[in-house]
């Protein structure tokens, strides 16, 4: 972090940064889901000049066996930079920085992945930086969420990530390489959009408490925008590629084959493997309320095969 400022003016009086951005501006971001063949799920992110690929395998067997956890899946994230991803060629293989980043990214993802559902397995997330321009850990984590959803791994939420920093005495959003090298602080974060909880938080440099709060607010707002891009990437894949949409047959068979989670797991929130307790006590009131404003397709079980007009497309 921060070598002494040279004669470079990283930010001018009008707030224009070296690459022309204003303090509160994100670099252009493009996200694509489902870009690899072999992997169970994948995503590609271009974020400014960063180019990062994420791939997910899992849940699958744990090797070596002693790492297995009989109560839940382990999430193993491996962040790696390609030799040609930086100006001075990097020797291939994990270095201390990559190992630390891998650890914090694994922990961030663990907070949202439904690991209890797949004990004794691993969910492997591979993140390759093909071209780097600062903010790679945030871009990588952003890609990782999309890749996990693409792989069909159950998660409470997607995790958008972004960094803020301090440059020329001002708090700015989304540092690029020069700013990262010559700036005064770097603060990457990642959040669960719905609850606003922080699942990744690092800081290095020099910030006053006010600057920290200002930066955090900026980063939160940026994360919300990034979340929308993650969502778009996933929806785009499935609305463009019609061959992935489901037909009625598949839906019916899925419902037939799987079970509604038992009441116990309903409270914990999740898909259990429990017996279908149709007659079990539910937390019900006297009347079954049908909420307003929500489309409740009232299709009684015996008539599930009836197809209303709106479903027919022939």
Partner 1 sequence: MFYNVISELTRQYVYKLAESGKRRDGRVLDQFRDITVQTGVIGTAEGSARVRLGKTEIVVGIKMQPGEPYPDSPDQGVMTTNLELIPMASPYIEPGPPGAEAIEMARVIDRGIRESGTIPLSDLVITPGEKVWVLFIDIHVLDYDGNLFDAGTIGVIKALENTVVPAKDYEVGEENFPLKIRNIPISTTFVKLGKVIAVDPTAEEESVATSRLTITTDLNGDLRAMQKGIGGGFTLEEVETCIEKSIRFGKQLRSLLWEKPEDVVTPEEG
Partner 2 sequence: MIEVVIDMESEGESISTHLKGEIVIPGQLIAEGRYRVGRWVYREGDKYYAYKLGLKDIRSVKGKPTVNVIPLAGKYDPMVGDLVIGVVVDMGPTTWLFDINGPNPAPLHITETPWKVDFGATGRYFKVADAAVLRVLYKDDTSHVQVTLKGPGLKKLHGGVITEIAPSKIPRVIGKNGSMIAMMKRLSRCQIIVGQNGRIWISGEVEQVKLVEEALRYIENHSHLSGLTAKVAELLDGDASDAVRAREEGDAPPRRGRRENVKFERRKE
44-83 binders of partner 1 (CB under 8 A) = 49, 51, 53, 55, 57, 60-61, 63, 78, 80, 82-83
Phi, psi of 293 (to 5 degrees): 80, -10
Choose among partner 1, partner 2, none what residue 106 binds, the Cβ cut-off being 5 to 8 Å by kind: none
Which one of residues 2, 15, 94, 261 is an interface residue with partner 2 (CB under 8 A)? 261
Which tokens is 282 given?
């539910």
How far apart are CB 241 and partner 1 at their closest, in Å?
Answer: 16
CB of 29 or CB of 164, closer to partner 2: 29
The residue written with tokens 């939160």 in the block is 220
Of 157, 184, 187, 199, the one binding partner 2 (CB under 8 A) is 157
Q: Which one of partner 1, partner 2, none is in contact with 290 (Cβ closer than 5 to 8 A by kind)?
A: partner 2
> Among partner 1, partner 2, none, what does residue 89 contact (CB within 5–8 Å per kind)?
partner 1
Q: Which residues of 201-225 are buried (b: 16+ CB within 10 A; e: fewer)?
A: eebeeebeeebbebbbebbbebbee
Residue 281 sits in the site that holds partner 2 (CB under 8 A): no
Between β-strands 50-61 and 74-81, what pairing exists: parallel, antiparallel or unpaired?
unpaired
CB burial of residue 55 (10 Å; 0-12, 13-18, 19+): buried
| Helical axes 96-110 vs 136-150, angle rounded to 10° | 40
Which one, of 157, 150, 56, 146, lies nearest residue 112 by Cα?
157
Report the residue number, 57 or 182, with the smaller CB distance to partner 1. 57
Contacts of 298 (CB under 8 A, 6+ apart): 290
Q: Which listed option, partner 1, partner 2, none, makes contact with residue 255 (CB within 5 to 8 Å by class)? A: partner 2
202 in contact with partner 1 (CB under 8 A): no
Residue placing its CB nearer to partner 2 in the complex, 6 or 249: 249
Q: Which of 3, 37, 87, 302 binds partner 2 (CB under 8 A)?
A: 302
> Can you name the residues that pair with 32 across neighbouring β-strands?
44
132 near partner 2, judged by CB under 8 A: no
Minimum distance from CB of 251 to partner 2 (Å)? Answer: 5
- Tell me, rounded to whole angstroms, the distance of Cα 72 from its chain centroid: 20
Question: Looking only at residues 180 through 219 of this chain, which bind partner 2 when binding is defined by CB under 8 A?
Answer: 192-194
User: What is the number of other CB atoms lying within 10 angstroms of the CB of residue 290?
Assistant: 8
The CA distance from 166 to 275, in Å, is 55
Write out the binding residues for partner 2, residues 73-112 only, by CB under 8 A.
112
Query: What residues make contact with partner 1 under the rule CB under 8 A?
Result: 36-39, 42, 49, 51, 53, 55, 57, 60-61, 63, 78, 80, 82-89, 92-93, 124, 126, 128, 130-132
């Amino acid at each position: 972090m921060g070598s002494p400022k040279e004669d470079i003016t990283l930010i001018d009086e009008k707030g224009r940064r070296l690459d022309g951005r204003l303090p509160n501006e994100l670099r252009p971001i493009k996200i694509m889901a489902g870009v690899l063949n072999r992997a169970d799920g994948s995503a590609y992110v271009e974020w400014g000049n960063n180019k990062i690929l994420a791939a997910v395998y899992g849940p699958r067997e744990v090797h070596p066996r002693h790492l297995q956890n009989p109560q839940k899946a382990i999430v193993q994230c491996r962040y790696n930079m390609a030799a040609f991803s930086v100006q001075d060629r990097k020797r291939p293989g994990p270095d201390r920085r990559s190992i630390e980043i891998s650890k914090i990214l694994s922990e961030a993802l663990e907070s949202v992945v439904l690991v209890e559902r797949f004990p004794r397995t691993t969910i492997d997330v591979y993140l390759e930086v093909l071209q780097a321009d600062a903010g790679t850990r945030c871009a990588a984590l952003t890609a990782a969420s999309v890749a996990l959803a693409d792989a069909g791994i159950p998660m409470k939420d997607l995790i958008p990530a972004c960094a803020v920093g301090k440059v020329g005495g001002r708090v700015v959003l989304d540092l690029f390489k020069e700013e990262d090298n010559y700036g005064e602080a770097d603060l990457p974060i990642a959040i669960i959009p719905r609850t606003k909880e922080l699942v990744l938080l690092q800081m290095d440099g020099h910030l006053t408490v006010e600057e920290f709060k200002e930066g955090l607010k900026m980063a939160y707002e940026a994360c919300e925008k990034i979340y929308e891009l993650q969502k778009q990437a996933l929806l785009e894949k499935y609305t463009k590629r019609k061959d992935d949409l489901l037909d009625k047959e598949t839906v019916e068979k899925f419902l037939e084959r799987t079970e509604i989670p038992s009441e116990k797991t309903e409270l914990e929130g999740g898909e259990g493997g429990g017996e279908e307790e149709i007659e079990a006590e539910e937390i019900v009131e006297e009347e079954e309320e049908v909420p307003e404003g929500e489309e409740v397709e009232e299709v009684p079980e015996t008539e599930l095969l009836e197809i209303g007009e709106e479903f027919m497309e022939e």
